Structure 1
Amino acid sequence: MRDSHPLPIDDALPALRAALAARGMAVLQAPPGAGKTTRVPLDLLATPRITGRILMLEPRRLAARAAAERMAETLGQPVGQTVGYRMRGEAKVSPATRIEVVTEGILTRMIQSDPGLDGIGAVIFDEFHERSLNADLGLALCLEIRAALRDDLILLVMSATLDAAPVARLMGDAPMVTSEGRAFPVDTRWLPRPPDASLRFEAAMTNLILQACAETTEGGILCFLPGEGEIRRVEAALTPRLPPGFTLRPLFGAMEFAAQRAALAPVPGRKVVLATSIAETSLTIPDIRVVVDGGRARRARFDAPSGMSRLVTERVTRAEAEQRRGRAGRVAPGTCYRLWTKGEEGALAAFPPAEIEAADLTPLALELALWGGADLPFLTPPHPGVLAEARALLEALGALDGAGRITDHGKRLATLPLHPRLGHMLAVAGPEAAPLAALLADRDPLRGDPPDLTARLKAIDRPPAQAHRPTLDRIRDEAKRLARAIPQGSSQGIQTGLSPAQMAALAYPDRIGLRRKGDAPRWVLSGGKGGAMAAGLPLSGARLLVATDLDGDPREAAIRQAIAISEAEIRTLFADRIRWHDLCEWSRREGRVLARRQERLGALVLDDRTWPDAPEEAVARAALDGLRQIGLPWTPAARRFRARVELARGDGDGFPDMTDAALMARLDDWLLPHLGGARTEADLRRLDLTPALKAMLDWDQTQHLDTLVPPHFDTPLGRRIPIDYDGEAPAIEVRLQEMFGLTRHPVVGAARLPLRITLLSPGHRPVQVTMDLPRFWATSYADVRKDMRGQYPRHPWPEDPTIAEPTLRAKPRGT
């Protein structure tokens, strides 16, 4: 080997070889800069147990190329002999290749096409701490293969910052090997105080980079920023202020490979590299001695119910910050500047979320269906609800059948290097859809332009001045590869002659938008969510469109890219999915039952008509929904009856619960037959609940209720006075003279509650309230008699009311 320079990982290699020889699996934990990516695969070449090729997974294309080139250089060979690489659309391998560095999706395709991994002796998962979805899936598949088919398959997980114990347990308590120390020490410098809140992030980062330029005298400076936009803004701010002798280089994933290589290559003087997390792992920029960490990371967050992902900018985790710091100590002692204070460090999360926790699981669901089982040994199992949403989409695309099994169409989609949405579009529309598939799979080449997809399609052949040329070049190249992946003609079920809008609708059947009523450009999407865009844009007046890119807001997403579509195009494409639905429902806005017949595609109403002959039961059930919203309309009679039943319930005779909560919970059972033709809120508010409440009792209960809690009180004169049960106690009002001769106080209910009697004067004014009539006769009556005799001299006021005859008559005049 040409490279004999010692690295920290060298001391751990004997223990690693011994662990793999004994168990066939191991977890290697080595800090950034230890040299694991390039040293370990070469060391394993000499392991007698490994007779086949060694696959090493890298999370990024640039890192895969760089690792292969570095190892090939160590052997004094060009890439493609002993060491090669393979990624989508590009490969440098030969029959002599023993170490193959691949991007993660390549391993999944290899396993699905050859579950035995014939000819593969070992699989290495590098930078596993990044917890990409493909790495988690690849490890789960390899563990199942090793358990069922290939007990000789060597598996090695390598990481810089991962908590290794859970991975080792997942691998059957595989041995853990640790490499101590880093190549060179790194001095960490935090801000003395938080940056000025009024200072934009880019401005604060520019100042810190300039400080690093001034305070350090050797080596390149690697600066971590969350995305291309921040890189371009910092680049513009630095260009006029950078000291002489410094060269500025951006580095992000969407750049051409030649430009990425330029960022890695040495330059005269000193270099400042403005990079995304692409430079965080598996990548040694040879002359870097200083890291400036902005402390931010951009992640994709997926909302399963809306089917939308959004990029969010978040604080880095401690693990990511440590990875970034390690870039400075690879080739010499280094310095790390952090755009936060030391006190803020404790508030950082320990590790970033695994991609399986936050990503779109549709591709994973397709791979699991193709594999034929979902019980794989995942380090972090996928969320069942999110996985169910993914399977529902695959079923809508025809990739899964109703039982969740993969279809022939699904197997075809799994072979295409695209998200299943775009794969479905390509498989159905044929090679003509390849440019659109490549466009939708890449970044927006007209970022910042109005959200018209048609303009992007035109830009592929006729780029406007503002177009991002490297992106368009990638799209054209990818379109050619995709077109070759799909056969010509209709013999494979391809629908020819589809418009770009119809192609987009194939990929996004849940994002066909129908404009809402009103002047604002707002649409309801066929999947049930909402979308909107600014007024005055080319598509803001479209009645129907297909939204191919949204910002992910779960309530009403901003439409960032769309294409207009006609109703005729929709009907032609989705004739088998458009259905008539009979709807009878309560309209809160109109306050009445609406009976409609609607022709729908998902949540879109393409035709809406009245339903004049809606069944009475359907109308009644809709009216019940109205009652659930406005509440029960209690009349005095209904309240009295309910109160009587509530009193009787204490007697244990099976009387129903008539509290509001209980009645609302059982509306369908007791009220539905009594709604009649009620269709409006006014009808419902006039409703008398008494007959329906009475119908809840059987004959025996009704008789018992009338005896135990009677609806009225029979006075000594035989008059019936309604008892008011809607109060603190059952109550009546009665003329005092009518109660003469009554010596026992009337009671009701199982608890024998005394009636609250309001005794009235002959003028029907209250003169006494009592709940103990015998006591009133014996005590207070004498005072009442004294007062009343003067006011009502013609009415009887006997000294002993207990033996007097009840009466309502006055004495004849003159007596």
Structure 2
Amino acid sequence: MTLPIESVLPELAKAFPAARVVIEAPPGAGKSTQLPLFLLQQGVADDGLIVMLQPRRVAALNIAHYLAKQLGEPVGEQVGYTVRGDSKRSKATQLLIITEGVLVRWLQDDPELSGIGTLIFDEFHERNLHSDLSLALVIDALPLRPDLNLLIMSATLPAESLKVWLENYCEKVQVLRSEGRSYPVEHHYRPPSHVTQWLTELPKVVVEAFAVAEKGVLVFLPGVYEIQKVAGELSQRLQPATLILPLHGRIPLQQQRQVLKATDEKRIILATNIAETSLTLDGIDVVVDSGRERRAQYLPQYGLSQLVTQRIAKASATQRAGRAGRQQAGQCFRLWSRSDEHGFAEYAPPDVATQDLSALMLDVLRWGTQVKQLAWFSQPEPGHCAAAIDFLTSTGLLEHGQLTSKARQLEVGGSDPRVLLVANAAKQLSEKQQAAMACTLATIEEPQSSIKSVDLAERTRAHFQQRDQFALWQQRWRYWLNYFGLTDSSGCHEKIGDDGLSEALLQGYPDRVAKFDATRGDFQLACGGRVSGDSSRLKQPSWAVIFDVTFHEQSSLGRSRCLLPVDDILPLLKAAGIAPKVSQTSEWFGEKQQLRQITREKLGAIVLSEKVSNAPVNDEQRAQAFCLWLRENGLDRLNWSRRSQQLQRRIHWLQQVGGELLSYDMTTEGLLSTLEQWAVPYWTSVRSLKQLQQWDPYEALCYFLDYSELQRLNSACPEWWQTPTERKVFINYLDDNPRVEVKLQEMFGVSESPKIIDNRQVVTVDLLSPAGRLLQRTNDLSSFWQNAYADVRKEMRGRYPKHPWPEDPLNATATFKTKRQQQ
């Protein structure tokens, strides 16, 4: 059967050697299957191994097996694969399917990629961390390998944008486009009765879809919880023999591959967005799309992630619907209304904008460069980069921005730095302890949802006892055994709570130490968040190290599925070489708000000890106490005059419109963070909280700017606007737009709205009646005179006959006088 991608293959062949090609082809075009085989047939592998990168392990395995089958060979001959923990290749292998994390490791070991002739980035639109990082490193290494063929393939990202970006780093970049091969898909919209009821009403839609399906139904859901809930509901609504299969990242790869194969009986597959791309799902002719996905949004202030269930992007909706039309005409049931699609984003955000960047930052520094010096299709989020630097510094992997010897001892390439820190610390333990740590690390990396205990020791023992059921866990366990130079006969007999193991675990998770607060019934994390306790599953310890914690958008409390109970944290901290920080502050203390010196010993946000002193407080300490109090209670506790508020907003407008004074952060957050610079010098006579709350920040804010900046501000964003009658009118900067209030008669002869900031910002005009009541608010004075004035004149001239209402206001004289006063 001819596939659409074949139409561009002759042109692709002309691009070799040193090809730089962007290929845009929707699902079903054959880019992941036909194109690699074509390159083999063309002899491209004669100049080096062809490597195709896939963003998901199950996709890599599935494609490798499919391509090998097309050649009539078992996988591992001409076509092989390498994913984390598993590899099948031989000397005969010419085409290797890998995941991007593998390429990062290869690049760190050999930037020239010796023996590799062609790199194919497949499904680049998925934009995971490894794909963006590995492509950035490849582009940086291209001067060493000008002969390397580079192909970037995407189903949804516009090829032209990729081409323009790539031309900054490569010459002779080509774009090839192919149509997709798909059958018509009929869309049905089934919006829920209320947006919050979508999960309750979805099973009814699945039952409807199953009734019209000829082969099978694919249901897209946000996560495992929803899959389990819907599966339970469907088992009650449908015949007991109905085949209902889950498909998500937590089930073993072999089981995932089995789900992808067609069966003789009609089935329902309940899947996360793992089924959007890369996989060929046989026997599917109907899709039910919940329109939602679950993403982890990194919270840099905590070093933790928040799970957010959100609407999918338009590109994802198109991808999902296309699954129904891959093999025959199909149907797609959508749990939203057609009008809802106007609010969908075009594309999902890339991982470099939403995820923890600690591993990425470590790899970039190992590469010998800085993030800003590499080629990124989307720049990594600066705040997340800063949080990553802080974490790597706090754990001894960075010092003054440079990698330490400790960092260079860690395994190379893409792994979680926390896990690598634990593994490195465990090298000093006994063989029995290392055997226990191999089990523990596998449990942290590949937790199985069927094991419910939250105690790390209990979870690890359960994983080990049921290891034959957990293929992914067993792969990681064997990997760590090999890392420690052990055999699987070593077992998992050492107690996980052993001091040596606990010390090693703490090396990677010092910010995850948590103290139980009996009054609140939850844990305070050292990193700043709080985690709910669960006495039904675990007797609450005084302390814990929490490994698996996520925050849900509906709750301010995180939840943990895995923690290590600790009786007393202080000896463990000392043994692990983690020293609490001692700080001395002056604070307003007690009901009478008296100023006292307080010495605290803290581990992050956890107070280990506190001592209050009645010693005298000097001016510097008092100012420090004022700053701390304002940061806790807010700037609005100050006596903000209207002029002060105006000044803050005037600077805002000059920054936004004029692009000036950008070195000053006049937001509430910015002012709070710089109190010592702009406010403290003006507090010399402020002695109490009462006096502080009476203090007007206007003068301090004025002199925060130098003389020339203040003059520029007064010129560009003046406090007053002069009317044609030479009367000064106050400009209100506190609204959404700068605004003046002026009587309509004073604007006669003014053809255009007032402007500020070098005529770049229009000032809204409130035109008032002679009695001072609002007649019209306008941003376009010219339009008002031409269109609305005649109606206003008709209504007002009878009500205010003593005042002028000329037919031609633009040729009339501006005035604030009555007709008699004018005469």
2:32 aligned residue: 37
Q: Hey, what's the Cα distance between the residues in 2 that align with 1:371 and 1:126?
A: 24
Q: Do the aligned partners of 2:108 and 2:413 also contact (CA within 8 Å) in 1?
A: no
TM-score by length of 2: 0.70
- What is the correspondence of 1:608-627 to structure 2 with a 5 Å cutoff? 608-611=610-613, 613=615, 616-617=618-619, 619-621=621-623
Partner residue in 1 for 2:418? 421
Please tell me whether the aligned partners of residues 123 and 278 of structure 2 are also in contact (alpha carbons under 8 angstroms): yes
Deviations 1:145-175 (A, max 9, x none): 11x2000000001111112222112221721
Matches within 5 A, 1:161-180: 161-172=156-167, 174-180=173-179
State the match for 2:446 in structure 1. Answer: 442
Residues 462, 80 of structure 1: alpha-carbon distance in 2 compared, 3 angstrom cutoff: closer
* Corresponding residue number in structure 2 for 1:160: 155
SS in 2 for 1:287: coil
Within 2, Cα distance between the matches of 1:471 and 1:598? 49
CA distance in 1, matches of 2:224, 2:637: 59
Cα distance change, pair 582–311 in 1 and its aligned pair in 2 (3 A): closer
Q: 2:203 and 2:542 mapped to 1: Cα distance?
A: 46
How many Å apart are 1:276 and its aligned residue?
A: 1.6
Give a deviation string over 1:119-139, Cα, whole Å, max 9, x none. Answer: 000100101111111111111
Q: Does 1:270 align with 2:259?
A: no
> Is residue 548 of structure 1 aligned with residue 521 of structure 2?
no
3-state DSSP of counterpart to 1:254: coil
Choose from 214, 220, 225 the match for 2:211: 214
Q: 1:390 aligns with which of 370, 388, 391?
A: 388
1:207 & 1:345 partners in 2: Cα distance?
Answer: 22
Aligned to 2:596, what secondary structure does the other structure show?
Answer: strand
Aligned mates of 1:38, 1:161 — CA distance in 2: 18
Once the two structures are superposed, what CA deviation does each residue of 1:210-262 show, in whole Å capped at 9, x if it has no partner?
A: 2222223x322222222222222222222343369853322212112332232
Q: Are residues 239 and 593 of structure 1, via their aligned partners in 2, closer, same or farther at CA, if it must alter by over 3 Å?
A: same
Identify if the C-alpha distance between structure 1 residues 460 and 613 changes in structure 2 by more than 3 Å, giving closer, same or farther.
same
* 1:29–1:160 contact (8 Å) kept in structure 2: yes
Structure 1 contact 20–26 (Cα < 8 Å) conserved: no
Q: CA deviation at 1:318?
A: 1.1
- The residue type paired with residue 425 of structure 1 is V
Residues 662-706 of structure 1 deviation map (CA, whole Å, 9 limit, x = unaligned): x9988755765x78xx7x869x89x9xxxxxxxxxxxxxxxxxxx
Q: Shift of residue 376 of structure 1?
A: 0.8
**Cα-to-partner distance string for 1:498-554 (whole Å, 9 max, x where unaligned):** 3554344222211222345x6222443323x13142464566743322222333379
Q: Deviations over 1:759-797 (max 9, x none)?
A: xxxxxxxxxxxxxxxxxxxxxxxxxxxxxxxxxxxxxxx
Q: Secondary structure at the match of 1:68?
A: helix
Cα distance in structure 2, aligned partners of 1:624 and 1:93: 66
Kindly indicate whether the alpha-carbon contact (under 8 Å) linking 2:101 and 2:413 is maintained by their aligned counterparts in 1: no
Identify if the C-alpha distance between structure 1 residues 68 and 620 changes in structure 2 by more than 3 Å, giving closer, same or farther: closer
Aligned partner of 1:137 in structure 2 is: 133
Distance in 2, Cα, partners of 1:631 & 1:132: 42
Give the counterpart letter for 1:526 in structure 2.
A
Aligned mates of 1:427, 1:664 — CA distance in 2: 42
Deviates more, 1:610-619 or 1:363-372: 610-619
Is this contact kept in 1: 2:312–2:344, CA < 8 A? Answer: yes
Q: In 1, are the aligned partners of 2:210 and 2:216 still within 8 Å (CA)?
A: no
Q: Name the amino acid aligned to 2:178.
A: S
1:216-235 matches, within 5 Å, as 216=213, 218-235=214-231
For 2:284, the aligned partner's letter is I
Contact kept, 8 Å, 1:27 with 1:177, in 2: the verdict is yes
Please give the alpha-carbon distance, in whole angstroms, between the structure 2 residues aligned to 1:98 and 1:412.
Answer: 33
Q: Find the counterpart in structure 2 of residue 400 from structure 1.
A: 398
2:720 aligned partner: none
SS in 2 for 1:249: strand
In structure 1, runs of 5+ residues without a counterpart are 464-468, 489-494, 635-660, 688-815
Cα–Cα, structure 1 residues 76 and 575, in superposed 2: closer, same or farther, change >3 Å? Answer: closer
Aligned counterparts, 1:787-806, within 5 A:
none
Letter in 1 for 2:288: V
1:526 equivalent to 2:533? Answer no
1:379 Cα deviation (Å)? 0.1
Shift of the alpha carbon at 1:441? 1.8
1:311 is paired with a residue of what secondary structure?
A: strand
C-alpha displacement at 1:107, in angstroms? 0.6
**SS of match in other structure, 2:294:** strand
2:601 to 585, 599, 602: 599
1:187 aligns with 2:185: yes
Answer yes or no: is the 8 Å Cα contact 2:22–2:151 preserved in 1.
yes
Q: Distance in 2 between matches of 1:389 and 1:665?
A: 24
Name the structure 1 match of 2:342.
Answer: 346
Instruction: Trace 1:322-341 onto structure 2 (pairs within 5 A).
Output: 322-341=318-337
1:448 Cα offset (Å): 5.6
Q: Which residue number in structure 2 is paired with residue 567 of structure 1?
A: 569
Q: Which amino acid aligns with 2:541?
A: A
Deviation, 1:206, is 1.9
In the alignment, residue 478 of structure 2 is paired with which amino acid? K
Partner residue in 1 for 2:508: 507
TM-score (norm 1): 0.71
Q: Measured at CA, do residues 73 and 556 of structure 1 come closer, stay the same or move farther in structure 2, by a change above 3 Å? A: same
1:10 and 1:584, CA in 2 relative to 1: closer, same or farther beyond 3 A? same
Tell me which residue corresponds to 1:455: 458
User: Residues 587 and 597 of structure 2 are in contact (CA less than 8 Å); yes or no, is this contact kept in structure 1?
Assistant: yes
Displacement of 1:345 in angstroms is 2.4
Tell me the equivalent position of 2:782: none
Tell me if the contact between 2:60 and 2:97 (Cα under 8 Å) persists in the aligned partners. Answer: yes
2:483 counterpart letter in structure 1: A
Q: Which amino acid aligns with 2:188?
A: W
Counterpart for residue 577 of structure 1: 579
Do the aligned partners of 1:186 and 1:325 also contact (CA within 8 Å) in 2? no
CA distance in 1, matches of 2:296, 2:314: 19
Q: 1-side partners of 2:90 and 2:547: how far apart?
A: 40
Give 2:574's aligned amino acid: T
Q: Offset at 1:334?
A: 2.5
Distance 1:381 1:198, change over 3 A: closer
The CA distance in 1 between the partners of 2:449 and 2:30, in whole Å, is 37
Paired position in structure 2 for 1:296: 292
CA–CA separation in structure 1 for the residues paired with 2:240 and 2:581? 70
Shift of 1:14: 1.4
The correspondence of residues 231-250 of structure 1 with structure 2, limited to 5 A, is 231-242=227-238, 247-250=243-246
Tell me whether 1:315 sits opposite 2:311 in the alignment: yes
Residues 522 and 226 of structure 1: is their aligned pair in 2 closer, same or farther, counting only changes over 3 Å? closer
Shift of 1:445: 3.8
Distance 1:238 1:296 in 2: 19
- Deviation, 1:383, is 1.9
**Structure 2 CA distance for aligned equivalents of residues 589 and 112 of structure 1:** 59
Q: Secondary structure at the match of 1:283?
A: coil
Letter in 1 for 2:551: G
2:70 & 2:295 partners in 1: Cα distance?
35
Structure 1 Cα separation of the partners of residues 378 and 628 of structure 2: 45
Does the CA contact (< 8 Å) of 2:457 and 2:497 recur in 1?
Answer: no
Q: For structure 2, which runs of at least 5 residues remain unmatched after alignment?
A: 428-433, 487-495, 640-671, 695-823
The answer (yes or no) to whether the contact 1:521–1:534 under 8 Å persists in 2 is yes
Q: Confirm or deny: 8 A CA contact 2:522 2:533 kept in the other structure.
A: no
1:807 match:
none
Tell me the CA shift for residue 388 of structure 1: 1.4
Counterpart-to-counterpart distance in 1, 2:376 and 2:628: 48
Distance 1:626 1:253 in 2: 46
Is 1:368 paired with 2:364? yes
AA of the residue aligned to 1:542: P
Report the secondary structure of 1:36's partner residue: coil
